[in-house]
């Protein structure tokens, strides 16, 4: 077990270090944050919250490192990424246990978190191909044009609390493979996995300074956004903060990629396979305690009969769910990440009741013997939710599923299309024409057809619409290569020795 790991949450809290210039560093700041074990509700670690001076140190070290790393031919950088992938795979179990102990998601789900990040590491192992430019021969007399993709220099990532391995890997793997140095500021509530990933990157052959981990709060976020040597920032979090980060960073001239909140919808047509649909909905709504940006918290059955049949089966399936501690192999989901987050979810449940929605299953008041202080919530189900309700309009981010009924397909498509968020939407049907119409019309960035959580594979890209994303380029896939590089276009002429010199004062053309 690494010195960054903990067993259960008992004993003296450990210290989570920063990772600078190839090694862990305690830092000298006086401020710190508590890292809880959500299954116990106890503090298991403390993480130092850096001041801007530490960021200055980290950026200076990163800035000094890129020339040698960027100058490596891309296949050698790919070899480091291959080795990085192998080392993560070898530690999958211990990384998953570390992750689940800080976030609360069950170990099996934590492994999925890591694996989806590994998919992107695997994708960027093809960086020699991904960095190939374009070439046009003889665009004019003896003139050729070609393009190069070159790294930006020092870039940064601000991942969220709920995906402590996947999102950091989505950010750092393309950035580093492209030849950049990367400053990672993980969530201060789930910080330890990022430190361990940095240690493994060094073991894989990454030069010191290329991957820096600096812990902190808004003080460090603002310092990153304001720092002139940080050329690009990738962010995932709530939409209000995503907009703030986007505007502040873009105002400093940085390239920005900011993913925000979501309220993903699943439309259930009368012809859907209800057994499969219910199984999909239960996993998508309640897996990871609903603490995913691609969770499915809204289901829209089309037609009264469909709604009644769906509700009956959902209630029966919910009754079979098992909530447990994060390391319980039989648990379907574990606690939420913190006491404040639990209270926020409970406030939304109370709000839904006050707004007139029917509370079919109430998850409040759930406790576990021996874990009375844990941050647990049982599954909650609402019916007869309407689009005017605030509990529908806002992101709850917990184990709460809302049924919003619709009479027609057109009415159902309008719900996600008119919502402030546009991350993902899914439809469950056996009708290909209906599915095609839905995919063409729904206003969301990622669409599932009989797929409840339509997170694209690593060689496509992840990104929502509307208030779910700010910036022009999506995460991972070829968009990530574009985001973390700048294009240089070269126009060249190699004239023969007997060419006549023709002086001209008009704008050059290739005619």
Q: How many CB atoms lie within 10 A of CB 7?
A: 12
Q: Provide the number of structural domains found in the chain.
A: 2
| 177 within domain boundaries | yes
Residues 296 and 191 in one domain: no
Q: What is the mean pLDDT of residues 141-154?
A: 94
- Do 188 and 103 lie in one domain? The reply is yes
DSSP 475: B
Q: Is the pLDDT of residue 511 over 80?
A: no
The reply to whether the predicted model has a pTM over 0.75 is yes
Q: Which domain, by its residues, includes 342?
A: 265-449
For the segment 462-480, the average pLDDT, to the nearest whole number, is 95
Residues 144 and 226 placed together within one structural domain of the fold: yes
- In this structure, the answer to whether residues 172 and 275 fall within a common structural domain is no
H helical segments located in 260-383:
274-286, 304-319, 339-355
27 and 106, same domain (yes or no): yes
| Cα-trace Rg, the chain | 25
Q: Are residues 241 and 285 in the same domain?
A: no
**Residue 455 in domain:** no
Residue 382: helix, strand or coil by DSSP? Answer: strand
Q: Is the pLDDT of residue 361 over 80?
A: yes
What confidence category does residue 141 fall into, taking pLDDT thresholds of 50, 70 and 90? confident
Average pLDDT over residues 99-127: 97
- Same domain? For 92 and 236 the reply is yes
Burial of 99 (0-12, 13-18, 19+ CB in 10 A): buried
Regarding whether 404 and 280 lie in a shared domain, the answer is yes
Q: In the structure, what pLDDT confidence band is assigned to residue 3 with cuts at 50, 70 and 90?
A: very low
Pure H helices in 381-510: 390-393, 409-418, 432-441, 477-483
Residues 237, 181: one domain? Answer: yes
DSSP alpha helices (H): ranges in 262-327? 274-286, 304-319
Q: Pick the residue with more confidence: 500 or 477?
A: 477
Return the pLDDT at 12: 87
Residue 161 is part of a domain; what is its CATH number?
A: 3.40.605.10
The answer to whether residue 33 sits within a structural domain is yes
Lowest mean pLDDT among 112-116, 293-297, 497-501: 497-501
Identify the three-state secondary structure at position 412. Answer: helix
In the predicted model, is pLDDT for residue 458 greater than 90?
yes
Give the pLDDT of residue 462. 95
pLDDT band at 27 (very low <50, low <70, confident <90, very high): confident
Query: What's the rounded Cα separation, in Å, for the pair 17 and 3?
Result: 10
414: in domain: yes
Q: DSSP string spanning 129-171?
A: HHT---EEEEEETTEEEEEEEEE-SEEEEE--SS-TTHHHHHH
Q: Which of 401, 419, 449 is the last residue of a domain?
A: 449
Report, as an integer, the average pLDDT of 4-15: 63
Q: What is the pLDDT of residue 187?
A: 97
Taking the C-alpha atoms of residue 329 and residue 337, their distance in angstroms, rounded to an integer, is 18
Dist. CA 172–CA 185, nearest whole Å: 11
258 is catalytic: no
pLDDT at res. 417: 98
Residue 8 domain flag: no
Surface-to-core class of residue 486, CB atoms within 10 Å of its CB (0-12 exposed, 13-18 middle, 19+ buried): middle
Residue partners of 498: CB distance under 8 A and separation at least 6: none
- How far apart, in Å, are the Cα atoms of 463 and each of 40, 297, 470? 35, 18, 9
CATH code assigned at 351: 3.40.309.10
Same domain, 255 and 278: no
Does residue 463 fall inside a structural domain?
no
The mean pLDDT of 152-156, rounded to a whole number, is 97
Contact by Cβ (8 Å): 123, 459: yes
Query: What would you measure as the largest C-alpha separation in the chain, in angstroms?
Result: 92
Residues 96 and 160 in one domain: yes
Q: Please report whether residue 416 resides in a domain.
A: yes
Question: What letter does residue 499 receive in the DSSP assignment?
Answer: P
Q: Examine the domain organization and report whether 345 and 479 are in the same domain.
A: no
| 3-class DSSP assignment, residue 308 | helix
Assess if residue 9 is contained within a domain: no
């Amino acid at each position: 077990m690494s010195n960054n790991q903990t067993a259960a949450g008992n004993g003296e809290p450990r210290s989570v270090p920063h990772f600078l210039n190839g090694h862990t560093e305690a830092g000298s700041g006086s401020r710190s944050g508590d890292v809880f074990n959500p299954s116990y509700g106890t503090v298991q670690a403390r993480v130092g919250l850096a001041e801007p001076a530490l960021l200055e140190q980290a950026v200076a070290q990163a800035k000094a490192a890129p020339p040698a790393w960027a100058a490596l031919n891309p296949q050698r950088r790919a070899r480091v990424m291959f080795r990085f992938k192998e080392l993560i795979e070898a530690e999958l179990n211990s990384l998953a246990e570390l992750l689940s102990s800080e976030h609360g998601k069950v170990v099996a789900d934590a492994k999925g978190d890591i694996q989806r990040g590994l998919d992107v590491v695997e994708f960027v192992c093809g960086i020699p191909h991904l960095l190939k430019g374009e070439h046009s021969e003889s665009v004019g007399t003896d003139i050729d044009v070609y393009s190069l993709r070159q790294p930006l220099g020092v870039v940064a990532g601000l991942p969220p609390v709920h995906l402590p391995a996947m999102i950091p890997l989505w950010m750092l793997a393309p950035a580093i493979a492209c030849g950049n140095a990367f400053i990672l500021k993980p969530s201060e509530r789930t910080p330890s996995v990022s430190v361990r990933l940095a240690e493994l990157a060094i073991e894989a052959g990454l030069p010191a300074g290329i991957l820096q981990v600096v812990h902190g709060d808004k003080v460090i976020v603002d310092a990153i956004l304001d720092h002139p040597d940080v050329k690009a920032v990738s962010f995932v979090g709530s939409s209000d903060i995503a907009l703030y980060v986007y505007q502040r960073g873009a105002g400093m001239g940085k390239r920005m990629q900011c993913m925000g909140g979501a309220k993903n919808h699943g439309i259930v047509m009368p012809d859907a396979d209800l057994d499969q649909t219910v199984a999909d909905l239960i996993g998508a709504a309640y897996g990871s305690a609903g603490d995913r940006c691609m969770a499915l918290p809204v289901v829209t059955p089309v037609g009264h009969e469909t709604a009644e049949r769906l509700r009956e089966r959902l209630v029966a399936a919910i009754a079979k769910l098992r909530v447990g501690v994060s390391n319980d192999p039989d648990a379907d989901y574990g606690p939420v990440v913190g006491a404040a987050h639990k209270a926020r979810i409970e406030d939304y449940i109370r709000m839904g009741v006050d707004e007139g929605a029917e509370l079919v299953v109430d998850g409040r008041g759930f406790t576990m013997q021996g874990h009375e202080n844990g941050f647990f919530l049982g599954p909650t189900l609402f019916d007869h939710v309407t689009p005017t309700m605030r509990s529908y309009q806002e992101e709850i981010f917990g184990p709460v599923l809302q049924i919003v009924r619709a009479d027609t397909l057109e009415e159902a498509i309008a719900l996600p299309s008119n919502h402030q968020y546009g991350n993902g939407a899914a439809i469950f049907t056996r009708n290909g024409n209906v599915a095609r119409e839905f995919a063409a019309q729904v206003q969301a960035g990622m669409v599932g057809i009989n797929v409840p959580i339509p997170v694209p594979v690593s060689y496509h890209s992840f990104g929502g619409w509307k208030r779910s994303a700010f910036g022009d380029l999506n995460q991972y896939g070829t968009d990530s290569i574009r985001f973390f590089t700048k294009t240089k276009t070269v126009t060249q002429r190699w004239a023969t020795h007997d060419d006549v010199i023709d002086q001209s004062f008009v704008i050059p053309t290739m005619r």
